[in-house]
Amino acid sequence: MNVLLCVTGGIAAYRACELVSLTVKRGHAVRVVMTRSAPTFVGPTTFEALSGHPVMTDTFADALAHIEWAKWANVAAVAPASANFLGKLACGLADDAPSTVLMALPRGRRVVLAPAMNTEMWLNPVVVRNLGWLADLGRYDIVAPTEKRLACGDVGPGGLAEPADVLARIEASAAG
């Protein structure tokens, strides 16, 4: 199975490394696409080494790559999915590499969203609304965040779901 993994800018980006590693060990191919802020948290070199594929960070570096990568994917995932990125998806924006590839994803291919953020961000009504809109579209499968002590020190919902649970959802979504 070909898995397209979008990584956005949040503390939990480091856990996407574990997700890539687990997914590759399960025998799947992984290509990683990063938002502009994601490399602030984890460098593309780490994802290149773990996935064995080049990482896309710039839509314009290779003119048709966003279409080719979208066609390649049997399933896509966004982990961690930032509040900002969920808003962009909900509004239909395609202004960076991950949102552009996802916009070009062929019909019928599903997208797993694994949000991770501060509890107040997670409970912000606009984030709640955006996720509700996305869920209603029928293409997005949401893996709810866990409740724990977050990196910011707050205790509550917003932690990235366990990578093994995200992978299980990706496999289920790919199977339809």
Indicate which single residue of 5, 6, 12, 134 sits in contact with ligand FMN (rule: CB under 6 A).
Answer: 12
Q: Binding segment for ligand FMN among 35-43, 54-62, 103-111, 130-138 (CB under 6 A)? A: 35-43
Q: Binding segment for ligand FMN among 24-32, 48-56, 114-122, 135-143 (CB under 6 A)? A: 114-122
CA distances from 36 to 24, 86, 148 (A): 24, 15, 27
Closest CA to 59 of 33, 28, 27: 33
Is there binding between residue 33 and ligand FMN (CB under 6 A)? no
Query: Which neighbouring-strand residues pair with 50?
Result: none
Q: Binding segment for ligand FMN among 8-16, 18-26, 63-71, 128-136 (CB under 6 A)? A: 8-16
Residue 148 φ then ψ, to 5°? -165, -175
Interface mask toward ligand FMN for 116-135; x: CB under 6 A: xx---x--------------
Active site residue 152: yes
- How far is the C-alpha of 4 from the C-alpha of 56, rounded, in Å? 11
Indicate which single residue of 35, 51, 57, 59 sits in contact with ligand FMN (rule: CB under 6 A).
Answer: 35
Indicate which single residue of 70, 78, 83, 131 sits in contact with ligand FMN (rule: CB under 6 A).
Answer: 83
H helix intervals, the chain: 13-25, 44-51, 65-72, 83-91, 97-103, 119-123, 125-136, 163-175
Write out the H or E segment, with its range, that includes residue 31.
strand 29-34
* Residue 43 · residue 70 · CB < 8 Å: no
**Shortest Å distance, C-beta 29 to ligand FMN:** 24
**Shortest Å distance, C-beta 167 to ligand FMN:** 20
Closest CA to 172 of 102, 77, 101, 103: 77
Catalytic residue among 6, 17, 91, 152: 152
Q: Which residues bind ligand FMN (CB under 6 A)?
A: 8-12, 35-38, 82-85, 116-117, 121
